[in-house]
């Protein structure tokens, strides 16, 4: 069988998921192709292969971005680059199209979905956020907007990603609802029960929905060797008496809870606790108070696993999240988690691996941090054992089984 996957990028969390599924599918005997946008390839210096198809070029991408900003429209430009993609697909003759993120200004939705319908190609669409059933935004928890249930309009986030100078959310809601319903043989996949429940309240509710959790690399994310914690503390001049309170993100902002860490830095006893944040950039380095250690973004997963292992507690104050793998990575390294009750984040945590507090309840989060560090209620062995069920290859194999269900139907 021939499977073509389409996503905005090959890097980042969604790109790695797409690549991982493709790898496991190839091992099972499938022929696979990966489609992604031009700019993400160029920026990440990703190696090309004949199985990788790049949509567009520098000019088509930035024309799409500029027109999107000016009009508030998404998925209606990139006409010629999408037509070239269709010609490639006509040569490949895919048996299945696996969609991932379609936002980020790189593809023409009507052209793509008209091709899918005309050729009656089965579609699997993994939803990594809420964009597919809103008129604009990928997330809406922070602004507490429920217009997506009945029809988007007067969008409170139209100037945010995907950025626009005009609110065209009403039109885009109708536009997406129309084109996404063109496909009849389509299964939606969500990484969390939380997102699945939202889909069932949206205009996509008539499509079957399957939950396949995100997985992690358990060959990397596991407790580090004895002495790594001491080495980490020595490297960053942290005394042995201080507990390490860790946060990890690749895009620190209000949605990810950077303000929560700033507040915690004022509350936690500096002689007993040290906050360490991974994923900092030059802007964040300037903004953070001096008592927070900021570590630059790293693509080195082993380095990240060593940091998780050195921490006493992992804190995830995210306000909007689908199914955060950072929770799982920390747990797999034996470090318990404290997280806000938001999105699918609570689904990653059990009574043996961490605790959940209500969103924006910093008082309760502070208490949980102190309780976990001082009393050690969560055992490393229990955390590691729980994480085994989230092995990424097992999750990727779930997708391959889903491919197989199409071939049998």
CATH number for the domain spanning 120: value is 3.40.50.2000
Give the pLDDT mean for 94-116: 96
Considering the entire predicted model, what is its pTM? 0.95
Hey, is 371 helix, strand or coil?
Answer: helix
- Residues 256, 198: one domain? no
The string of DSSP letters for 276-301 reads EEEEE-HHHHHHS-TTEEEEE----H
- Residues 242, 210: one domain? no
- Residues 379, 251: one domain? yes
For the chain, how many structural domains are there in total? 2
Instruction: Tell me the angle at which helices 12-27 and 392-408 cross, rounded to the nearest 10 degrees.
Output: 60
- Residues 138, 273: one domain? no
Hey, is 260 helix, strand or coil?
Answer: helix
Q: Look at residue 221 and tell me if it is in a domain.
A: no
What range defines the domain where residue 123 resides?
Answer: 2-215+392-408
- Residues 20, 126: one domain? yes
- Residues 347, 233: one domain? yes
Give CA–CA dist 398/323, Å, rounded: 17
- Average pLDDT, whole number, for the chain? 94
356-376 pLDDT per residue, tens: 999 999 999 999 999 999 999
Reported as a pLDDT band with limits 50, 70 and 90, residue 41 is very low
Give CA–CA dist 94/116, Å, rounded: 10
50-85 pLDDT per residue, tens: 789 999 988 888 899 999 999 999 999 999 999 999
Give the pLDDT mean for 175-185: 96
Torsion of CA 46, 47, 52, 55, to 10 degrees: 50
Q: Look at residue 222 and tell me if it is in a domain.
A: no
- Residues 378, 401: one domain? no
pLDDT at 43: 47
Q: Look at residue 220 and tell me if it is in a domain.
A: no
- Residues 169, 275: one domain? no
Q: Look at residue 66 and tell me if it is in a domain.
A: yes
């Amino acid at each position: 069988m021939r499977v073509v996957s389409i996503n905005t990028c090959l890097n980042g969390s969604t790109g790695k998921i797409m690549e991982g599924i493709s790898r496991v599918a190839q091992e099972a005997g499938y022929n696979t192709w990966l489609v992604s946008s031009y700019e993400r390839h160029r920026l990440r210096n990703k190696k090309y292969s004949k199985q990788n198809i790049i949509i567009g070029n520098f000019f088509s991408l930035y024309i799409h971005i500029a027109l999107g900003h000016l009009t508030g429209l998404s998925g209606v430009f990139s006409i010629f680059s999408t037509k070239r993609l269709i010609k490639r697909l006509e040569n490949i003759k895919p048996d299945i199209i696996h969609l991932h993120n379609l936002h980020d200004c790189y593809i023409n939705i009507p052209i793509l979905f008209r091709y899918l319908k005309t050729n009656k190609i089965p579609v699997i669409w993994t939803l990594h956020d809420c964009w597919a059933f809103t008129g604009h935004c990928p997330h809406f928890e922070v602004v507490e907007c429920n217009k997506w249930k009945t029809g988007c309009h007067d969008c409170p986030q139209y100037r945010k990603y995907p950025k626009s100078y005009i609110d065209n959310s009403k039109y885009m809601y109708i536009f997406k609802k129309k084109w996404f319903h063109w496909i009849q043989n389509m299964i939606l996949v969500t990484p969390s029960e939380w997102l699945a429940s939202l889909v069932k309240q949206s205009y996509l509710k008539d499509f079957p929905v399957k939950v396949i959790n995100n997985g992690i690399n358990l060959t990397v994310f596991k407790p580090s060797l004895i002495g790594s914690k001491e080495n980490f503390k020595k490297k960053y001049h942290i005394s042995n008496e201080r507990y390490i309170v860790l946060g990890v993100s690749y895009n620190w902002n209000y949605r990810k809870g950077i303000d929560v860490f700033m507040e915690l830095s004022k509350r936690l006893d500096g002689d007993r606790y040290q906050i360490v944040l991974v994923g900092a950039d030059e802007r964040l380095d300037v903004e953070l108070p001096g008592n927070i250690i900021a570590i630059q973004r790293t693509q080195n997963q082993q380095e990240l696993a060593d940091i998780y292992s050195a921490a006493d507690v992992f804190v995830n104050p995210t306000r909007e999240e689908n199914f955060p793998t950072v929770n799982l990575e920390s747990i797999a390294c034996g470090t318990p988690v404290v997280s806000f009750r938001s999105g699918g984040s609570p689904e990653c945590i059990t009574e043996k691996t961490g605790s959940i507090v209500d969103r924006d309840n910093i008082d309760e989060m502070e208490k949980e941090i102190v309780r976990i560090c001082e009393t050690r209620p969560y055992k490393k062995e229990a955390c590691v054992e729980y994480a085994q069920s989230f092995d990424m290859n097992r999750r990727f194999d779930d997708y391959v089984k889903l491919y197989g269900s199409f071939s049998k139907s």
